[in-house]
Amino acid sequence: MLQVAVVGSGPSGVYAAQGLVQQDQVPGIRVDVLDRLPCPYGLVRYGVAPDHEKIKSLQGTLRTVLEHERVRFLGGIRIGPDGLPATRLRDLYHAVVYCVGAATDRRLGVPGEELPGSWSATDFVSWYSAHPDVESDGFVVGARAAVVIGVGNVAVDVTRILARGAAELSATDMPQAALAALAGSQVREIQMVGRRGPSQARFTTKELRELGGLPDTEVVVDPAELALDPAYLDPSALPAAQRRNVEVLRGWTERPPAAGSRRIRLRFFLRPVELLPDGIGHVGAVRFERTLPDGLGGVTGTGRYEDVEAQLVLRSVGYRGVPLEGLPFDADRGTVPHLAGRVLRAGSVAPGEYVAGWIKRGPTGVIGTNRPCAKETVTSLLEDAPALVHREVPRDPLAALRAEGLRPVEWSGWQAIERAEAALGASLGRGVVKLPDWQALMTAAEAKDPL
């Protein structure tokens, strides 16, 4: 019987587990899905925006996999230096599939990036999603104007959350402290800024369009700025997705301005060059250089600058994988080198080690993209299975993990967290409300099953 550890319970980990137990080629495979958090689902729980209930509900589909009779969720187990070393994990299973995602943010690399008031979108998302590692909560304090750098879907998410009113946010599972902070926010103007043109923005049309439907919020675009993009003036050669984006933006230039107490401005052809302090060392503005298309898909600087006021700056320029000790790492791409999902060590396949998801491909792609990605990896693993199964491993890896002094949060522990979050929500007159800190999660996980 082949015993496999999947590290990471986000979409790629769960799809990998599903692929392993729902096939006939190698019968009887058992899969332990380990996660450093006591809660499963990765970015579906800790990234997908709380006001996107339909996408959040995909957790239900992932859940059925984790409840499969040959799959076991083992939360609260970090693989790496502060937890179980990857080399030790390798001793406990015939194969290990790393699906650890991309936990950190890309840097802008401009002066002033570290000023107070400048945050990565990664931190902001983790905060309103109740990720237990987040300790900051001062994001919107004292801010009237915000700049979001980047025009991908994460930029749209954080812009939308900043623009939402208290009533809309309170219907979500956002933790109470984040809800209170956002409900009291004085941010009235949000500028979301792309360094290239509207036809090159990375957001998808559905997400873009949603900005235009936010209550009490005006969306503003400058037709002259859009027109710097030749593809905006003649979108006929654009792929359908980009053409639709351009059409939505054009529609916004043509409609009469709607009144709203909040305003979102979409800006293009502005490259961030510096974050400027105010008089007390907090961020006060972002200096951008005006760019123009270079005809090759990129932009060139014009030497003209514009300072945009902001007491809150969210840098939304992409996520980045972090190296996991004991695994090779491509520092340029932020991924683990692989061949069809098989980990490559010094250019050669490392038997029994695999990757899937963002740590394999880099931090792009929607939830569904991880399914074929995991399938490719599982296909490789199944091909290797006859050779892997001969290696001697403990009969019960869970007992071996416990013998290492680890105390995994099992499925019943996660269910206890779910009950605690439902109870917290009920006590606050809301729906489910997420527990935002380690202590609350671990205390809840230890609660006994109700009779």
Ligand X SMILES: Cc1cc2nc3c(=O)[nH]c(=O)nc-3n(C[C@H](O)[C@H](O)[C@H](O)COP(=O)(O)OP(=O)(O)OC[C@H]3O[C@@H](n4cnc5c(N)ncnc54)[C@H](O)[C@@H]3O)c2cc1C
Ligand Y SMILES: NC(=O)c1ccc[n+]([C@@H]2O[C@H](COP(=O)([O-])OP(=O)(O)OC[C@H]3O[C@@H](n4cnc5c(N)ncnc54)[C@H](OP(=O)(O)O)[C@@H]3O)[C@@H](O)[C@H]2O)c1
Interface residues with ligand Y (CB under 6 A) are 108, 149-155, 157, 194-196, 200, 202, 207, 272, 316-319, 363-366
d(CA 352, CA 375): 16
Cβ-based neighbour number of residue 337 at 10 Å: 18
Token couple for 89: 């994990």
Judge whether 271 and 301 are in contact, CB under 8 Å.
Answer: yes
Residue from 5, 29, 97, 99 touching ligand X (CB under 6 A): that is 99
Q: Which is nearer to ligand X, 13 or 117 (CB)?
A: 13
What's the helix, strand, coil split of the chain in %, to 5?
35, 20, 40
Q: Residue 58 CB, nearest distance to ligand X (Å)? A: 8
C-beta of 102: minimal distance to ligand X in Å? 7
The C-alpha atoms of residue 281 and residue 277 are separated, in whole angstroms, by: 5
Distances (CA, A) of 363 to 106, 157, 160, 408: 10, 16, 21, 28
Beta pairing partners, 348: 345
- Contact between 288 and ligand X per CB under 6 A: no
> Which of residues 152 and 293 has its CB atom nearest to ligand X in the complex?
152
| Binding-site size, ligand X (CB under 6 A) | 36
Per partner kind, with CB cut-offs from 5 to 8 A, the member of ligand Y, ligand X, none near residue 108 is ligand Y
From the list ligand Y, ligand X, none, partner contacted by residue 408 (C-beta under 5 to 8 A by kind)? none
- Report which DSSP code applies to 42: T
- Nearest distance in Å: CB 39, ligand Y: 19
First-to-final CA distance of the chain: 35
Strand ranges for 198-247 from DSSP E: 217-221
Pattern 117-146, ligand X, x by CB under 6 A: --------x---------------------
Residue 410 Cβ, how far from ligand Y at the closest point, in Å? 30
**DSSP state letter for 450:** P
Q: Which is nearer to ligand X, 157 or 229 (CB)?
A: 157
Which one, of 262, 285, 244, 2, lies nearest residue 149 by Cα?
Answer: 285
Q: What is the torsional sign of CA 333, 334, 338, 339?
A: negative
CB distance 397 to 2 below 8 Å: no
**Collapsed DSSP state (helix, strand, coil) of residue 415:** helix
Nearer to ligand X, 3 or 291 (CB): 3
Interface with ligand X (CB under 6 A), residue from 3, 6, 12, 401: 12
> Per CB under 6 A, which region of 75-83, 210-218, 401-409, 443-451 contacts ligand X?
75-83
6, 7, 62, 108: which one binds ligand X (CB under 6 A): 7
Amino acid at 341: G
Please identify which residue in 68, 70, 78, 188 interacts with ligand X, judged by CB under 6 A: 78
Handedness of CA 163, 168, 172, 174 (dihedral sign): positive
From ligand X, ligand Y, none, interface partner of 72 (C-beta below 5 to 8 A by class): none
12 binds, among ligand Y, ligand X, none (CB under 5 to 8 A by kind): ligand X
Q: What is the largest CA-CA distance in the chain?
A: 71
The partner in contact with residue 78, picked from ligand X, ligand Y, none with C-beta cut-offs of 5 to 8 angstroms by kind, is ligand X
Partner from ligand Y, ligand X, none binding residue 13, C-beta < 5-8 Å depending on class: ligand X
User: What does 158 interact with, of ligand Y, ligand X, none (CB < 5 to 8 A by kind)?
Assistant: none
Q: Which does 149 bind (CB under 5 to 8 A by kind): ligand X, ligand Y, none?
A: ligand Y
**C-beta of 74 vs 155, nearer to ligand Y:** 155
Output the six-digit token pair for 57.
Answer: 């509900």
Q: Which amino acid is at 217?
A: T
Measured CA to CA in angstroms, residue 36 lies from 39, 75, 200, 218 at distances of 9, 6, 36, 41
Given a contact cutoff of 8 angstroms between Cβ atoms, the answer to whether 259 and 214 are in contact is: no
318 lies in the site for ligand X, by CB under 6 A: no
Residue 90 binds: one of ligand X, ligand Y, none (C-beta under 5 to 8 A by kind): none
- Determine, following the binding rule CB under 6 A, whether residue 174 of this chain makes contact with ligand X: no
Looking up tokens 């000790």 gives: 325
99/431 Cα distance (integer angstroms): 31
Q: Which stretch binds ligand X (CB under 6 A): 44-52, 107-115, 168-176, 280-288?
A: 44-52
The CA distance from 47 to 41, in Å, is 10
Q: Give the shortest CB-305-to-ligand X separation in angstroms.
A: 30
**Of 324 and 417, which has the nearer Cβ to ligand X?**
324
Which option in ligand X, ligand Y, none does residue 50 bind, with CB closer than 5 to 8 A by kind?
none
Q: Residue 365 CB, nearest distance to ligand X (Å)? A: 5
Strands 3-7 and 95-98: parallel
Contact residues toward ligand X (CB under 6 A) are 7-13, 34-37, 42-43, 47-48, 52, 55, 78-80, 99-101, 103, 125, 154, 157, 319, 324, 357-358, 365-367, 369-370
